[in-house]
Structure 1
Amino acid sequence: MKKNISLFLMLFMMVFTFAQKTISGKITDDEGAAIPSASVTIEEPGKDAILAYGITNSKGEYKVTFTSSESNVDLKVKAFNQKPLTKQISNSEQTLNFKMQSEATEIKEVQLKTKMITARGDTISYDLKAFNSKNDRTLADVMKKIPGIEVNTDGTILYQGNAINKFYVNGKDLMEGGYGTINNSLPKDAVQKVEVLENHQPVKILQDKVPSDQAAINIKLKNSVTMTGRGEVGTGFGEPWLWNVKLTPMFFGQKSQWVVNYKTNNMGEQVENEGNILAFGSGWEGRRSNISQNNWLSVENAVTPDLPVKRYLFNSVHYLSANYLTNIDKKKEWELKVNANYTNNAVERESSSNTNDFQQKTQYGTRFLNNFYTDKLKGEIIFTKNAKKGFFKNTTTFSQYWNGDRTNAYRKDSVSERNGLEAVQSPTSSFQNSLSTIIPWKEKMINLKSYISYQDDNQTLEISPANYMQIPYRNSIKDSMKTIDFVPGSFALQRFRIKTLDTSHSANISFTKKGWTFTPQVGFDYSTDKLDTNFDGITTSGQPDFNSPTYENSLKFTEITPSASLGVNYKSEAWSLFASFPVNFNNIKADDVIRNVSKTLNKTTFTPNIFVQYSFASFFKASVNGNISNNFGDIKTAYGGYIMTNPGSFSVMNPNNPIPQTTTKSLGARLEYRNPLNNLFFNVGSRIGDTKNNLISSIFVNPFGFRVTEYLERENKRTSNSYYAEIGKYFPKFKTNASFTFNNTLSKSQLIRNTAFIDNKTIANTVGFKFNNNYFSWMSVDFNASQTWNKQSNIFMTGNLGKSEGYTHNLNVFFYPIENHTIGFYWDQINSKSGDAKYNNGFFDLSYQFSWAKKKVDFELKWMNIANRKVFEKIDFDNAAITSTSMQLRPSQVMFTVKFNFK
């Protein structure tokens, strides 16, 4: 595999060096005045294909780099009110100046027809009208059809396969990465164009000094002051009565912006995730993250199908959010942002499974009926100054959870049948503050960063009756496994609390000269976790005593890491380089009061990170990147007592184990091509990864599926090698956008199961195809399909065992038989094959929509799951076991919805 990567890198270098030529010069008019914004293109003689292009700057200067095997090429110059110029030149490095003759450009029509895709420097602009269909209503509807852009199911926007780092509206970052609300609710009619800002550095003082390999999205509205938004109100027929309400008014002005969002439904839409942070900006802005609970304890969960969420989610959700941005100074450099959201959600879920354990030659069945309750509040205050002469950003975040989960569990095996009621209460409080400032000092920049986070998780798991469980145990690591016998009718209780303090502080100074920026930095990180747990239950005689230290934990885990690093950045017209060379002085201590055990680790590590990108021939970008990282575990891998993480599993660490150490190395290469002149985009790349651990997971599974997970001291390794490719093209003549993706991943890992060493090997292949067409005035089509082939193999999974295939497609066809009338047909197909078992699952929906064009109001009647399919079946592989599962789906339902724009 490493040879393949080396070959890939050699091919890159050949592309860099083979026949590359640069032509530069100046364009003037017949009076000698510079002509800005003139286009200069290079073409091969007799071929209607552009090799490279450039745009003159304000001084009339241009520079074009291209690759061609021809001895001569055609150079063409075009400018407004100038006579086009064409000259055949030799394929060589040269400087050419041109004087153009004045010629009035005749405008044949009053209407100005803009290009669908235009490029200027690192900005690519998409005219939204060129890609929408009659049935599209929001920005997200159209974004999915733009070449080079993808929208994942979680709302994340990808450009050329990579996530964006910023999402702007009229140049302002209102949502701070949580852009799902705007993308899903901004009416398409309010948008003039979508701009992709390639290699975007969001911190203005760092632009042209510290490069970035990520892109950003800027939504340019038709009006500089816009009051808009989207709303839906729907009711449905089913059991129970269905509702769906979405109200999202928005305002975008020159000084302030705001979005208010309220969504509620019980018909399977997962609206509560719209507040998730999807774009994290630049590390120079401080630290950003999606706040979550430390979910150590859980009930046994029903399995979810690999389907669109709307097919299986039984919910009752209320989600309210508000985002506000305003400039607080006359220069409009300082911004205040206030963001808040509240979620109240109840979810029901049900599944039944049958498991065949090949290692133990046993079978058992399970059935879980879940009720999940989420009650969450989050608030955020952000002060920002982002100017060419300085940067400041302070983010304060507070979150509170009041979550609770319930399960009615049922198990059946060759010995007995058991029922159990399970409940988890998990309140959490958290507070974070992130500060970053960049201060210019003569020719230098000083960056100070500080991050403080405190979180308190308190969880309680209760199981009744306790004898529902048949959990393995042993009093010492050398004992053989036994089964705990609980007193019939009694209950078991696992208590858990962890308090976490995490701080990080750093200071650096940057020197810039001739495109190079050097940034030496010193930092100090301090974190501490305090864990307290205990397990209570009543057992029969001769069983373990839960009052013994074996089932308790009182652990303090402290990590102190001073660090020193050097950042090296370079930016030119063709080259971008980012590299950091940090040295970390790791000091870790774990104090187990109950066992009177104290572990320490003091180790110095070097963790370099390098990214290099080369742009050539106007349309190509080639890059390589590599990094080494070290992780020394955390409190999750340092405790010594038993913890019942869920009613089917105990987790335990060996108190005599050393502190975990993990070293990860990765290397990647990538080639991109994006040509807005012929609407063609593609990228291809490869990545290898290698992870070494000093501890290995050892799982003991009894014949009934209950398990104990331990970690033993033994060096083991995980490897992953992947190749991927994506190509997309828009065909304007046919109003069609099509793209093709491919991914191949080979991964290897190791573990111990019931004392047997298992060396897992997994091969995964995925092929995807996307197609949408708006050619006909009476019909539009959206089609997405993917095919997967997976193979897991080990000493137990041989032959056809472990082989699986999957095919999914989503087809949406809209017919427009009469003006303002739309008939929609929706087909989701999910097929799976595992060994001799095959499952074909098809879902069909039908809709009719009448549009009141004058008021911009839509009336929709939609019938979902016409075939009334109520269960979904699939097969999963787990090292030495195969599980077939049947999951509950939403039944057939009919919804009537009124949809409208606020303005």
Structure 2
Amino acid sequence: MIRKISLFLMVFFSVIAFAQKTVSGKITDEDGVAIPSASVTVEEPGKDAILAYGITNSKGEYKVTFTSAESNVDLKVKAFNQKPLTKQIPNSDQTLTFKMQSEATEIKEVQLKTKMITARGDTIAYDLKAFDSKNDRTLADVMKKIPGIEVNADGSILYQGNAINKFYVNGKDLMEGGYGTINNSLPKDAVQKVEVLENHQPVKMLQGKIPSDAAAINIKLKNSVTMTGRGEVGTGFGDPWLWNVKLTPMFFGQKSQWVVNYKTNNMGEQVENEGNILAFGNRYEGRRINASQNDWLNVENASTPNLPVKRYLMNNVHYLSANYLTNIDKKKEWELKANANYTNNAVERESYSQTDYFATSKTPAFSIRQNILNNFYTDKAKGELIFTKNAKKGFFKNATSFSQFWNADRAFVDRTDATSSRTGNQAIESPTSSFQNSLSTIIPWKEKMVNVQSFINYQNDVQKLDILPASYLNIPEFFPGIATESVRQNLQLKTFEANHSANIGFSAKGWTFTPEIGFNYKSTDLRSALTRNVGGEAFGYGDGFENDLKYTTATPYGSVGINYKDDSWMIYANVPVNSNNIKAEDPLRNVSKSVNKITFEPNLFAQYNFASFFKASLNGNISNNFGEVNTAYSGFLMTSPSGLNAMAAENPIPENNNKSAGARLEYRNPLNNLFFNVNYRLSDAKRNLISNPTINGSGYTVLEYIEQDNNVVNSGYSAEIGKYFPKFKTNASLSYSNNTSKSDAFLNDAAFTNKNNSQSFGIKFNNTYFSWMSIDYYASISKTKQTSIGSTDSGASRTGFTHNLGAFFYPIENHTIGFNWDQVNTSAANEEYHNGFYDLSYQFTWSKKKIDFELKWMNIANKKVFETYDINTTNISYTRILLRPSQVMFTVKFNFK
């Protein structure tokens, strides 16, 4: 593996180093006055292809780096009201100064033609009109067609395969990372252009001092004050009666912005995740997290298919959110943001499965058949208040949030295994309260910067899992001959976390050094008990099924941050030394474990820009993890009715050492609309404990851990290339990935090695060339091969094919006919399953009022189940999942203004 990395790096840097030349100088007019904003391009003679480009600054200075195998290249200079200049120059480093002759630029017509993609420095701007089709209505609809940008179903955005770190509207960050609502609901007609801010450092005090490799998105609206928004109201025929309502008014002003959002439906559209934090900004802004429950206890869950959610989600959801931003001082440096959302969701799910387990040294071959019917109930609320000052001479940000969950899940299971057939009712109640406060401030001190950060998090999880009747469990070795009516697993987790740090930054000649000291503390109290109900009275199963554990981690640390940035290089590294002090106290078993260890955990990122359009980067890090409370409890805990988990009391605290390294080559050329990236990643995790699950003849799993060094090695590479063809109005991209993982494992006390290789190839394109038709198409082919090597070797492979076709036809003005086709095929061993879904729609647009009337027929073939076949390490399984039936919806869609 090391040889592979070395070879890769040699090729990588050979490409970078090959024939890189730099031409720099100054452009002036005939009188010697500097000409700003003049374009300087380098081309190979006789070829209409730009190798590199640059734009002069306010002093008329330029710098262009290029790569070419030719002995000479053409240098071209263009500027407004100046005569274009072309000169052939040798392929070498040189400094050239040019004087341009005045020449009036004639404007033949009063008509401005905007370029579809323009670049200035680290900002790439896309004209939205160049990419939209007649059927597009929202910002997300159009952004999916922009080269180099991907948009997921929840509205999250990837640029060159990586998540963005900020989402602005007219330069303001209203949503604080939860931008899915705007992306999915902002009308495209309100947007002038989309700007990608590469290498974006969101903290103004740190710009030019602390570099960033992440990109941000800025949505520039046509008007500085905009009242807009999007709405839909729909009803439909099906069982039950269907509805879909979306109301999202928005206001974007110079001093304040707000978005109010209410969405409800029972027709399979997942809208409740739009408020999730998708962009986390910069570490100097503090820490914000998506609050979530510690779901330790679960009912048995029906399977979900590898399909778009709308094909199988039986939901009844109400989602309400509000976001508000205002400046609270005259200089417009201080901002107050208030965000709140509420979700009420009920989901029904059903599946049937048959699992055939292979014979082992402990158990003969056996089969399990299960039919599971679930009802999941989500009820949660969140409120957040944020004060921010982001100015060149000071930074302050305090974010306070509170979340409350009142979730509950139900399951009815019909189960047949090697010993019996039985049914069971399962229910879980899981209220959770969560509070976070994050503070970060940067104070200028002479030529230095002092940063102080504090993060506090408290969460209380209470969970109760009931199984009725108790005989459903059928685990005689744990419940021998006890006349029990029902079983209840009780659990409470109280978690307190505090992170405090202070650093000071020194800057000189592009370098910034940031020594830092900090203290991280986390304490988790776990209490659990398994009880049985006999004649209406509760009895415990004893200490072996109880936990009273306190797990604490205290880590004082010191580190030095090293940052450098110039026109070509960007380097940042952190060199921390951590004093890890971990303690697990279990008074029930009179056990106290501890680890006191000093660790060195450096990380490094280096990026080099060359030939104007290329970026090459390397990264690597070493980290250590000493487990959490979920790897330290010794009393048996029924995390689900299908299994019991425990860690042996004599086992030490887990110690995991992780090493990873990666390389990336990126190309983005807005002049010819071409983008591509190549990535390689390698990681090695060394652990001192390994899980040893035991599966009995009824298919129940008991999970314990044994002390043994083991490794998990992952490696993978991927590539993606995309290009926009303006002549054909087509955006196309190809992608490929190959990932391999290798890990040590145990099953029923038998050791073996798992190896898994997955490959996928994808193609995506959209076309708006014809005035009467537009097409969006995506397809992927995947192959997975799994091998287990041990006392008995086994192997299995699986292939899959997925595609989605969306075609829209415009036979008459304001009339649209749409066709959508989802296809998912799977193949394993000699079993093949083909799952196709078809939708048809008709839309009439009242153009004067900008209102759409849509009639849509979904799942025309009325396919009611999804079937799949899998071969795994321990078993072969067949699964059949209930889907949404055919349904018809009539919807009215409109903009608020």
Q: Tell whether the structures are fold-level matches, with TM greater than 0.5.
A: yes
Q: CA separation in 2, counterparts of 1:435 and 1:797? A: 55
Given the superposition, is the C-alpha separation of residues 79 and 798 from structure 1 closer, same or farther in structure 2, using an over 3 Å criterion?
Answer: farther
* Matching residue within 494, 508, 522 for 1:513: 508
**Offset, 1:122:** 0.3
Question: Could you tell me which residue of structure 1 aligns to residue 666 of structure 2?
Answer: 672
Question: Could you tell me which residue of structure 2 aligns to residue 440 of structure 1?
Answer: 444
Q: CA separation in 1, counterparts of 2:479 and 2:527? A: 23
Q: CA separation in 2, counterparts of 1:239 and 1:796? A: 51
- Is the 1:225–1:253 contact (alpha carbons within 8 Å) kept by the matching residues of 2? yes
- Is the 2:352–2:881 contact (alpha carbons within 8 Å) kept by the matching residues of 1? yes
Question: Could you tell me which residue of structure 1 aligns to residue 590 of structure 2?
Answer: 596
**One-letter identity of the residue aligned with 1:372:** F
**One-letter identity of the residue aligned with 2:511:** W
Question: Could you tell me which residue of structure 2 aligns to residue 402 of structure 1?
Answer: 406
Q: CA separation in 2, counterparts of 1:866 and 1:452? A: 52
Question: Could you tell me which residue of structure 2 aligns to residue 89 of structure 1?
Answer: 89
**One-letter identity of the residue aligned with 1:880:** T
Q: CA separation in 1, counterparts of 2:315 and 2:844? A: 28
Question: Could you tell me which residue of structure 2 aligns to residue 823 of structure 1?
Answer: 817
Asked whether 1:323 is paired with 2:327, we answer no
Question: Could you tell me which residue of structure 1 aligns to residue 343 of structure 2?
Answer: 343
Question: Could you tell me which residue of structure 2 aligns to residue 713 of structure 1?
Answer: 707
**Offset, 1:801:** 4.7
**Offset, 1:108:** 2.3
**Offset, 1:280:** 0.5
**Offset, 1:111:** 1.9
Question: Could you tell me which residue of structure 2 aligns to residue 647 of structure 1?
Answer: 641
Question: Could you tell me which residue of structure 2 aligns to residue 63 of structure 1?
Answer: 63
Question: Could you tell me which residue of structure 1 aligns to residue 886 of structure 2?
Answer: 892
Given the superposition, is the C-alpha separation of residues 796 and 12 from structure 1 closer, same or farther in structure 2, using an over 3 Å criterion?
Answer: closer
Question: Could you tell me which residue of structure 1 aligns to residue 682 of structure 2?
Answer: 688
1:272-351 aligned at under 5 Å gives the runs 272-351=272-351
**Offset, 1:878:** 3.9
Question: Could you tell me which residue of structure 1 aligns to residue 172 of structure 2?
Answer: 172
Question: Could you tell me which residue of structure 1 aligns to residue 432 of structure 2?
Answer: 428
Q: CA separation in 1, counterparts of 2:711 and 2:153? A: 32
Q: Secondary structure at the match of 1:97?
A: strand
**One-letter identity of the residue aligned with 1:858:** D
Q: Could you say what the CA RMSD is over the residues aligned between the two structures, in angstroms? A: 1.4
Q: CA separation in 1, counterparts of 2:639 and 2:496? A: 23
**One-letter identity of the residue aligned with 1:550:** G
- Is the 1:471–1:648 contact (alpha carbons within 8 Å) kept by the matching residues of 2? no
Question: Could you tell me which residue of structure 2 aligns to residue 534 of structure 1?
Answer: 529
**Offset, 1:526:** 1.1
1:463-612 aligned at under 5 Å gives the runs 463-471=467-475, 482=477, 484-485=479-480, 487=482, 490-537=485-532, 546-612=540-606
**Offset, 1:155:** 2.7
Question: Could you tell me which residue of structure 1 aligns to residue 21 of structure 2?
Answer: 21
Q: CA separation in 1, counterparts of 2:872 and 2:580? A: 36
Q: Secondary structure at the match of 1:338?
A: strand
Q: CA separation in 1, counterparts of 2:790 and 2:509? A: 60
Q: Secondary structure at the match of 2:837?
A: strand
Question: Could you tell me which residue of structure 2 aligns to residue 376 of structure 1?
Answer: 380
**One-letter identity of the residue aligned with 2:661:** L
Q: CA separation in 1, counterparts of 2:481 and 2:216? A: 58
Q: CA separation in 2, counterparts of 1:865 and 1:393? A: 49
Q: CA separation in 2, counterparts of 1:859 and 1:405? A: 38
Q: Which digits, 9 at most, give the CA deviation of each residue in 1:227-251, with x for residues without a partner?
A: 0000000000000000000000000
Q: CA separation in 2, counterparts of 1:129 and 1:457? A: 49
**Offset, 1:796:** 8.0
**One-letter identity of the residue aligned with 1:841:** N
Q: Which digits, 9 at most, give the CA deviation of each residue in 1:495-526, with x for residues without a partner?
A: 00010000000000000000000000000111
**Offset, 1:614:** 0.1
Question: Could you tell me which residue of structure 2 aligns to residue 449 of structure 1?
Answer: 453
Range with bigger deviation, 765-774 or 14-23: 14-23
Q: CA separation in 2, counterparts of 1:377 and 1:821? A: 41
Question: Could you tell me which residue of structure 2 aligns to residue 810 of structure 1?
Answer: 804
Given the superposition, is the C-alpha separation of residues 532 and 489 from structure 1 closer, same or farther in structure 2, using an over 3 Å criterion?
Answer: closer
**One-letter identity of the residue aligned with 2:495:** T
Given the superposition, is the C-alpha separation of residues 820 and 770 from structure 1 closer, same or farther in structure 2, using an over 3 Å criterion?
Answer: same
Given the superposition, is the C-alpha separation of residues 209 and 304 from structure 1 closer, same or farther in structure 2, using an over 3 Å criterion?
Answer: same
**Offset, 1:12:** 2.1
- Is the 2:261–2:320 contact (alpha carbons within 8 Å) kept by the matching residues of 1? yes
Question: Could you tell me which residue of structure 2 aligns to residue 475 of structure 1?
Answer: none
Range with bigger deviation, 407-416 or 375-384: 407-416
**One-letter identity of the residue aligned with 1:455:** Q
**Offset, 1:401:** 0.3
Q: Which digits, 9 at most, give the CA deviation of each residue in 1:376-416, with x for residues without a partner?
A: 00000000001111110000010000000000011012432
Q: Which digits, 9 at most, give the CA deviation of each residue in 1:64-122, with x for residues without a partner?
A: 01111111110000111111110111111111111111111122222211111110000
Range with bigger deviation, 800-809 or 113-122: 800-809
1:131-146 aligned at under 5 Å gives the runs 131-146=131-146
Q: Which digits, 9 at most, give the CA deviation of each residue in 1:762-802, with x for residues without a partner?
A: 00001011010000000000000110000011148999952
Q: CA separation in 2, counterparts of 1:167 and 1:354? A: 46
- Is the 1:466–1:491 contact (alpha carbons within 8 Å) kept by the matching residues of 2? yes
Question: Could you tell me which residue of structure 2 aligns to residue 758 of structure 1?
Answer: 752
- Is the 1:800–1:835 contact (alpha carbons within 8 Å) kept by the matching residues of 2? no
Q: CA separation in 2, counterparts of 1:657 and 1:755? A: 16
Q: Secondary structure at the match of 2:315?
A: strand
Given the superposition, is the C-alpha separation of residues 529 and 128 from structure 1 closer, same or farther in structure 2, using an over 3 Å criterion?
Answer: same
Q: Which digits, 9 at most, give the CA deviation of each residue in 1:171-191, with x for residues without a partner?
A: 000000001000000000000
Q: CA separation in 2, counterparts of 1:18 and 1:408? A: 66
**Offset, 1:681:** 0.1
Q: CA separation in 1, counterparts of 2:309 and 2:72? A: 57
- Is the 2:484–2:534 contact (alpha carbons within 8 Å) kept by the matching residues of 1? no
**One-letter identity of the residue aligned with 2:748:** N
1:44-193 aligned at under 5 Å gives the runs 44-193=44-193
Given the superposition, is the C-alpha separation of residues 798 and 71 from structure 1 closer, same or farther in structure 2, using an over 3 Å criterion?
Answer: farther
1:182-221 aligned at under 5 Å gives the runs 182-221=182-221
Question: Could you tell me which residue of structure 2 aligns to residue 745 of structure 1?
Answer: 739
**One-letter identity of the residue aligned with 1:385:** K
- Is the 2:796–2:872 contact (alpha carbons within 8 Å) kept by the matching residues of 1? no
Counting matched residue pairs gives 891
Q: Secondary structure at the match of 1:537?
A: strand
Q: Which digits, 9 at most, give the CA deviation of each residue in 1:712-754, with x for residues without a partner?
A: 1111100001010000000000000000000000101122111
* Matching residue within 683, 691, 700 for 1:697: 691
Range with bigger deviation, 517-526 or 796-805: 796-805
Q: CA separation in 2, counterparts of 1:799 and 1:861? A: 55
Given the superposition, is the C-alpha separation of residues 97 and 798 from structure 1 closer, same or farther in structure 2, using an over 3 Å criterion?
Answer: farther
**One-letter identity of the residue aligned with 1:835:** A
Q: CA separation in 2, counterparts of 1:374 and 1:331? A: 43
**Offset, 1:877:** 4.0
Q: Secondary structure at the match of 2:129?
A: helix
Q: CA separation in 1, counterparts of 2:82 and 2:479? A: 89
Given the superposition, is the C-alpha separation of residues 768 and 797 from structure 1 closer, same or farther in structure 2, using an over 3 Å criterion?
Answer: farther
- Is the 2:549–2:587 contact (alpha carbons within 8 Å) kept by the matching residues of 1? yes
**Offset, 1:153:** 3.2
Structure 1 stretches of 5 or more lacking a match?
A: 473-481
**Offset, 1:471:** 2.9
Identity in percent: 69
Question: Could you tell me which residue of structure 2 aligns to residue 728 of structure 1?
Answer: 722
